[in-house]
Chains A and B, each alone.
Chain A
């Protein structure tokens, strides 16, 4: 098997690396997080110019026609730098849903704006009682004539406070956890009845709680057929799950490298702690975890790019997220432990990498959830 990067992948990787080196050091990142929007609009425009925002989209829609393997190459570099710009919610999830479900008109209207960097999206799927089950949707959508009224509350909406449009997952029919009856609607954040409570996540990304009170949209704001969005939603979130896993792989790699470096400098009892065999073995284990995580994420990306059955793809995604979750806890905790007190301070990037991977561990379902999903599929 050939795992080497294609020329295009190499260019993408170098392009992200160059940007991070030039414009995304730790202090700059902290300033971006502290800013009102919590991401840099200037960076976003640059991403558009560099073509990064076109990567997941089909060539016929004006995109780069990138594979999932192309995406994980970028995501890994984003993870190393702990990027906070909303690439996943806008392009991978928002853009992914429009690509998968949207009509020709919807695609023509929205996809170019995403790729130009002039449209920010969020997707509201999670609810207080849904945990990670995408079918579990209480938010209701009631069709009256040619308009739809939405009611309900959503949590953990990534990029919710900066999006101009939110893709709201709502139930048109069926019981709370039924697979049928789930639709996705494009809702303007300015629409009457939409209230948004913004906050910053532990890993520096912006998110929001969103409540919808008698929000009325045209029936044409629905993506795809009525009540039939779940399969596509799951496939898009699966793709985002592989992206999050790749992001974690990058961040873990960074943690490992920083930990090894620190162990060569930090002295205890007059010698560098990196010379202690007890710690050497633990760093060797961290390395093993990073490598296994990387392998299973590549496997998942290749499966998604393949022509295999949908169930095999879903299993590969859950396998990756489950295994990466295990690595996240091990690598994150050991990195802090080996750094000691300094690793726990806000001042050092190590703790922030730990927080980023902890958030990624929960994103789109934690390890146990995906282990159970793997077993059930």
Chain B
């Protein structure tokens, strides 16, 4: 099936954004975690292994208290969110699969992380984030 031109464009835009985003995000996470605050919306929400966090301040405080990390990313997929359900707001889903090793922990965890990104002031921001180990 051929995709309609507008959907194709949205999809291409989503793919470009997702590819750039995942590199930035995990690089900052592992090396300069304090800079992640620029990627989250003020009102962002996150669930980390079932622990809910409300607002970028709470998220950053939580992430900052995690041990030093080393992420390896294995899979990346992106889906645009149809504008009809977001009141025209350009938004997309980024789905990441990878492995993470934290300092002080023997185990390497396989994980999936899902992000909802939305545009704010001409740049992509994380509106929601969900992280879960495979246990």
Are A and B co-members of a single complex? no
A→B interface (CB under 8 Å):
none
Contact surface of B with A, Cβ cutoff 8 Å: none
